Amino acid sequence: MTPTLSVRNLRVEIPTRRGVLRAIDDLSFDIAPGEVLGMVGESGAGKSITGSAIIGLLEPPGRVAGGEIRLAGERIDHLPPERMRHVRGKRIGMIFQDPLTSLNPLYRIGEQLTETILTHEQLSGRAARDKAQRLLEEVGIPAAAERLSAYPHQFSGGMRQRVVIALALAADPQLVIADEPTTALDVSVQAQIIALLKRICADRGASVMLITHDMGVIAETADRVCVLYAGRLAEIGPVRDVVKHPQHPYTRGLMAAIPSLAGDPDEKLAQIPGSMPRLGAIPPGCAFNPRCDFAFDRCRAERPDAYPAGATQAACFLHDAKNPPPPEIAGRASEVGLGVTRAPAEVPQ
Amino acid sequence: MLAFAIRRLVQAIGVMLVVALISFIMFRFVGDPVNQLVGVDTSPEDRAALREALGLNDPVLLQFGRFILRAAQLDFGISYQFKQPVAALIASRLPATLELSLVSAFFALAVGVPMGVFTGLYPRSWASRAFLAISLIGVSLPTFLIGILLIFLVSVNLGWLPSFGRGAVVDIGFGWTTGLLTTSGLQSLILPSITLGLFQMTLIMRLVRGEMLEVLRTDYIKFARARGLSRRAINFGHALKNTLVPVITITGLQVGSIIAFAIITETVFQWPGMGLMFLQAVQSVDIPIMAAYLLLIAFLFVTINFIVDLLYVAVDPRIRLGGARG
Amino acid sequence: MSDATEAAPVETAARAPGLVARLRDNDIWFSFTRSPITVISAVVTLLLLLSALFAPLIAPHDPFDPATLSIMDSFFPPAWTGEGDPRFLLGTDDQGRDILSTILYGMRISLAVGFASVLFAMVVGVTLGLLAGYLGGVVDSVIMRIADVQLTFPAILIALLIDGVARGVAGPNSYQDIVFGVLVLSIGLSFWVQYARTVRGSVLVEKNKEYVLAARLIGLRPWTIMVKHVLPNVLGPVLVIATINLALAIITEATLSFLGVGVPPTQPSLGTLIRIGNDFLFSGEWWITIFPGITLAILALSVNLLGDWLRDALNPKLR
């Protein structure tokens, strides 16, 4: 089946006075129809930029410098602006982080909804208004008919994010990109919004790309997860496997750093030493090598491809079956559940 | 909302009282009002009688109270220079100044806003750079010099438009004479309005440009783009409306300073308005006219500010409906 | 590649840490050299300042020495027009005065009044700002309320009012003697608010800092602390305001003189020259008013550009 979204070798560059920065480097992933893909990583890892690149709204001077983006098989990078505009909203919906600032304060909710509907669908004003009301009902806003004539500031944060979801889904897009949709909200409403997003997209069979740094949200919501580090893919795979059996040292560190309610409250949280490099100062080889416990010479010289690693794929030489890491490293790694563990690589010549 | 209006009103009255005090001090203590009203050969007894009759021997506070009371009834005394009631003099000059000022403000808005929008939307285009350069010159050149240059080019060299006066005017009742209904009146209005409005135009252009650049970076514009709205809808529907809030404020304030700057334009073009009269009053130390003009300008400022506040409320629902919730 | 170009200036600076090198590596100098318009306006401003300063040496004639004036020389057009006289490059006015010379001398007066009123506004504004910020309470409210009310009115109106009042107080005869003082006073008083606000804001920020407390503990008088520590901090913004105000002050003086309430025709400034020449505009003697006008425009524009640049260079946030 054709994936809803297919990103191949995507490269996003930002020219600056001090040279060209690579915000996204050689990133590939797919999202199947109806699938929820979680996109995780630290701030600056390139999650949001990937989203902006897909929807064609990179902030200048950022630009897609290589690779391709396909929506249901059709290439959408480098579409002329006017055609790309009809993809936005109509085929890809986007939800931003802050519902408080995503809505124009000077227009009524109903105006903003019907405006979006009429942009993408041939409807009468009346029909558009009816649809706007149905959308508001669908996202769980009480007394939808009256609320249409309210202004954004008359809604609470959670309610505003519901309106934003209604706006993003107004034209029934195939793909919804949600960029940190709950970060700015109260903890108490975060779960509601995520549940709503998941339900409403499942109802319509829309795929979701959920960008967040909250692994808890990903674990509950996503089918698969894609971990980014310094603009590069670290690991991608089914969410259970990535959470329970991470195969990339970075993912492993990330998972260990999540506090668990069930765990021992006195136990110290694991930390990854150091911090993610700035885009201008990515080390040669694997971007993670200076912080990695298992780095060896090759990691400092060569960039790893994504290798199959159990149920997931990890961009780490520990998983290179053809050219395995030094035994000492491999041994240490396998003690913590990382590395070449499955059968084919173990077969001696 | 009502509390807001009342607070504004109290502030306005405060400003008016301060200005009234200044006017009164000028009126009462700069030069001797009696000397201004009588000839050199008036006897000291007559002077003393006049002084008593004018109430100049009363306590100062009482005099100030009387001054305010009279001013509220538009009684500003007799002009030293023209020997006529100041109120009548101003009333006869008011239409000329108001017409000039409003036409200038309209010109400044009608040209300044589109130029600001354009330069905000296409900041790197050559036309934008040219507009900005022109605006810098507009800000740097003194108004009177612009007027002189316009007269030199358009009136003297090309002979297209009249260079002074109001042209033919029509009385439309209540003593209001208008130049808007005759060809010569309209022709006479063009150069002075451009001269007077140019500074405000560049100011509005720069303001709209700055606001436009700011608004285009906001999340709701990003979200509007992500919803696939047309450029037109984004730029003019969403962005422009949000830039208008500060533009209204500044424009309102500028209407006041346009009226004050009319002094210069009226002098360059010999425009028979209040400004020209005020200038003559300054030159001949005609204090009653100066005091009355000061009060009038302050009143206009205060009123316009008040209207602007109300307009602001009309445009921005956040204020209208009583602040943000949650 | 980029590494090499970045490293180069640092290296040379290390080898020759003289004043020139330090100036060159300074951010302000960098932004100055990067903006050709600023360089041009700086050069033009400097040229105009120098030629005004040395007007008696440069000017081909002394326009205020009646002995050298001849009515026979009146109304010569500029030298290049054919009917002109090579002695008078920019032509002559109705009294036979050389326009170029009157411009050079006029610029002196314009600049002198401009500088003096900026200085006056600065002293008044900084002092009141320090007082308001430091004393607070009633003094602060009174000063800032006056500032608020004054800001409601355009500077030119205030200057005109002060001028009118001064005439009334002084009487017509003695007014001629004090006209320069009145001009400086009226222009200066219409610009003090900005300085006061800036300084007051800065004082309020500094007042609660720990070093002020520490200085108090060791027995320094607070007033000394303010002057010693706050003033240097606000020097940048004050300098920016002063530069922009200089252009405004020159324009205001020219406007007042043009309106006939400024500098008298016996010692004409640029504004007075334009006023005088304006009467001849219609009879075809355009040069009498246009050349002083252009000079004024160039002067105001280049000082303005310089002020704009200084504002951006010293404080990128203050826009």
Domain boundary among A193, A222, A251: A222
Cα B38 from chain centroid?
A: 35
**Partner-chain contact A102 B321, CB within 8 Å:** no
Chain A positions touching B224 (Cβ under 8 A) are 104
CB–CB of C260 and B283 under 8 A? yes
> Which residues lie below 8 Å from residue B13, measured CB to CB, with a gap of 6+?
none
Q: Is C255 on the interface with B (CB under 8 A)?
A: yes
Which residues in chain C come in under a pLDDT of 50? 1-17, 316-319
Rounded Cα distance between A114 and A125, Å, is: 8
CA distance to partner chain A, nearest, from residue C248 (Å): 36
Residue of C nearest to A17 (CA): C2
CATH number at residue A183: 3.40.50.300
Distances in Å between the Cα of C287 and the Cα atoms of A213, B149, B164, C100, C295 are: 72, 12, 20, 10, 12
> How far lies B325's CA from each of A153, C186, C200, in Å?
6, 49, 34
Fold entry, domain B86-320:
MetI-like fold (1.10.3720)
**Domain identity same for A65 and A201:** yes
Contacts of A241 (CB under 8 A, 6+ apart): A310, A311, A312
Which residues in chain C touch residue B250, judged by CB atoms under 8 angstroms apart? none
- How far is C-alpha C135 from the geometric centre of its chain's CA atoms? 30
Class of domain C37-318: mainly alpha
pLDDT of residue B128: 85
Q: Indicate if A69 and A97 belong to the same structural domain.
A: yes
Both structure tokens of C114: 């401009």
C-alpha distance from C3 to closest chain A C-alpha (Å): 9
Residues of C with CB under 8 A from a CB of A: 2, 6
The reported pLDDT for the residue numbered C27 is 63
Nearest residue on chain B to C249, judged by CA atoms? Answer: B142
- Please answer yes or no on whether C149 and B18 come within 8 Å at the CB atom: yes
Chain B: residue whose CA lies nearest to A53: B226
- The last residue of one of the domains, among A175, A196, A222, is A222
Q: In whole angstroms, what is the distance from residue A97 CA to residue C109 CA?
A: 60
Chain B interface includes C204 (CB < 8 A):
no
Residues A193, A251, single domain; the answer is no
Between CA A193 and CA A162 the distance in angstroms is 7
Confidence of residue B244 (pLDDT cuts 50, 70, 90): confident
Mean predicted confidence (pLDDT) in B157-175:
75
Tens of pLDDT, residue by residue over B49-68, are: 877 777 777 788 888 888 88
Cβ contacts of C6 on chain A, cutoff 8 Å: 18
Bridge partner list, A70: A6, A75
Pair (A206, A263) in one structural domain: no
B29 pLDDT more than 50: yes
Query: Alpha-carbon distance A247 to A234, whole Å?
Result: 9
ipTM of the complex: 0.82
Identify the pLDDT of residue B95.
87
**Residue A345 is assigned to a structural domain of this protein:** no
Q: Is B26's CB within 8 Å of C165's CB?
A: yes
Closest to A249 measured CA to CA, from A190, A330, A193: A330
A17 at interface of C, judged by CB pairs closer than 8 A: no
Query: Cβ separation of B226 and A98 shorter than 8 Å?
Result: no
Is residue A232, in this structure, part of any structural domain at all? no
Q: Which domain range does residue A249 map to?
A: 240-335
- Pick the closest to residue B320 from A346, A154, A59 (CA basis): A154
Question: What is d(CA B241, CA B314) in angstroms, rounded to the nearest whole number?
Answer: 12
User: Is B247 within 8 Å of B211 (Cβ atoms)?
Assistant: yes
Count Cβ atoms below 10 Å from residue C290 Cβ, excluding itself: 21
Under an 8 A CB cutoff, do A170 and B315 touch? no
Strand A207-211 and strand A175-179: pairing? parallel
Residues 6+ apart with CB under 8 A from A166: A113, A132, A135, A136, A138, A139, A141
Chain B segment 13-52 residues within 8 A of C by beta carbon are 15, 18-19, 26, 30-31
Interface test with B, best of C41, C143, C153, C288 (most B CBs within 10 A): C153
Token digits for C25?
A: 């590596």
Which residues of chain C neighbour B26 with C-beta distances below 8 Å?
A: 161, 165, 168
For chain B, what is the total number of helices (H) and then of strands (E)? 14, 2
Closest approach of C217 to chain B, Cα-based (Å): 42
Q: Which residue has the tokens 């929807």?
A: A55
Residue B229: list chain A partners with CB under 8 A.
85, 89, 115-116, 119
Contact A179, A94 (CB under 8 A): yes
| Tokens describing residue B201 | 């135009």
Which of C154, C254, C258 is the closest to B261 by Cβ? C154
Question: Which residues in chain B touch residue C286, judged by CB atoms under 8 angstroms apart?
Answer: 152, 156
Instruction: Enumerate the residues of chain B whose CB falls inside 8 A of the CB of residue C304.
Output: 136, 139-140
For residue C4, give how far its alpha carbon lies from the nearest alpha carbon of chain A (Å).
Answer: 12
Domain count, chain A: 2
List CB contacts (< 8 A) between C154 and chain B: 256-257, 260-261
User: Could you tell me if residue A344 is inside a domain?
Assistant: no
Is residue A341 assigned to a domain?
no
Residue A180 lies in a domain: yes
Chains in contact with B, where contact means 3 or more Cβ–Cβ distances below 8 Å, are A, C
Of B142, B257, B267, the CB nearest to C251: B142
Residue B324's closest chain A neighbor by CA? A153
Q: Which of B298, B278, B294 is nearest to B79 (CA)?
A: B278
B256 reaches C (C-beta below 8 A): yes
Q: What is the DSSP letter of B165?
A: S
Report chain B's C-alpha Rg in angstroms.
24
Per DSSP, A223 falls in state: S
For residue C116, what are its two tokens? Answer: 């003096």
pLDDT string in tens for chain A (349-residue length): 788 999 999 999 988 877 888 899 899 999 999 899 999 988 888 888 999 999 988 887 888 998 999 999 899 988 888 888 889 988 999 998 887 788 888 889 999 999 999 999 888 889 999 999 999 998 888 888 889 999 888 888 888 889 999 999 888 899 999 998 888 788 888 888 888 988 988 888 899 999 988 888 888 889 999 999 999 999 999 998 888 888 898 988 888 877 665 656 666 666 777 788 888 788 888 999 888 888 888 888 888 988 888 888 999 888 888 888 888 888 888 887 776 544 444 444 4
| Cα(C39)–Cα(B12) distance, integer angstroms | 46
Task: Give the C-alpha separation, A88 to A231, whole Å.
Answer: 24
Q: Which of A89, A101, A154 sits opposite B218 (nearest CB)?
A: A101
Q: Which of chain C's residues have a Cβ under 8 Å away from the Cβ of A19?
A: 2
What confidence tens digit (pLDDT) does each residue in B128-143 have?
Answer: 888 888 887 777 788 8
3-state secondary structure (DSSP) of residue A109: helix
Which residues of chain B make contact with A105, given a CB cutoff of 8 A?
220, 242, 316-318
Q: Please tell me whether residues A213 and A251 are part of one structural domain.
A: no
Token pair listed for B94: 């008011």
Residue type, A252: R
**Element spanning C40, H or E:** helix C36-53
User: Can you point out the beta strands (E) in chain A?
Assistant: 5-16, 19-31, 36-40, 63-71, 74-75, 92-95, 175-179, 207-211, 224-229, 232-238, 307-309, 312-314
Nearest to A116 by CA among A142, A139, A86: A86
Domain identity same for A34 and A131: yes
d(CA A49, CA A63): 10
Contact B15 C297 (CB under 8 A): no
Beta bridge partners of A225: A38, A237
Cα–Cα distance measured from residue B183 to residue B151, given in angstroms and rounded to the nearest whole number: 19
Choice between B79 and A341, residue whose per-residue pLDDT is larger: B79
The answer as to whether A348 is a domain residue is no
Structure tokens at C256: 């007042």
Query: According to the model, what pLDDT value does residue B246 have?
Result: 77
Q: Which residue of A has its CA nearest to C6?
A: A18
Q: Nearest Cβ partner of A102 from B223, B233, B324?
A: B223
Q: State how far the Cα of B281 lies from the Cα of B324, in Å rounded to an integer.
A: 51
How many helical (H) and strand (E) elements, i.e. helices and strands, does chain A have? 14, 12
Mind telling me how many Å the CA of C83 is from chain A's nearest CA? 57
CB < 8 Å to B124, chain A: none
Are A12 and A79 in a shared domain?
Answer: yes
| Residue B91 C-alpha, separation from nearest chain A C-alpha, in angstroms | 41
When mean pLDDT is compared across A31-40, B16-25, B107-116, the lowest value belongs to B16-25
Q: Please tell me which residue of chain B has the smallest CA distance to C260.
A: B283
- One-letter amino acid of B72: A
Instruction: Count contacts between A and C (CB, < 8 Å).
Output: 3
Chains that touch C (3 or more CB pairs under 8 A): A, B
How many B×C Cβ pairs under 8 Å?
A: 113
Q: Which chains would you list as touching A if contact means 3+ CB atom pairs under 8 Å?
A: B, C
Burial of B69 (0-12, 13-18, 19+ CB in 10 A): exposed
CA distance C302 to chain A (A): 29
Q: Residue A224: what pLDDT?
A: 93
Structure-block tokens of residue B118: 């354009």
CA of C256: which chain B residue's CA is closest? Answer: B264
Nearest to A210 by CA among A102, A314, A95: A95
Q: What type of residue is A332?
A: R
Asked if the structure places residue A125 within a domain, the reply is yes
Same-domain check for residues A66 and A157 = yes
Query: Residues of C with CB below 8 A from B298's CB?
Result: 152-153
Query: What DSSP designation does B273 have?
Result: S
Which residues from chain A sit within 8 angstroms of residue B316, using beta carbons?
A: 105-106
Portion 72-111 of C in contact with B at CB < 8 A: none
Query: Would you tell me which residues 289-308 of chain B have a C-beta closer than 8 angstroms to some C-beta of chain C?
Result: 290, 294, 297-298, 301
From A221, A248, A253, select the one nearest A236 (Cα to Cα). Answer: A248
In this complex, do B282 and C164 lie within 8 Å of one another by their Cβ atoms?
yes
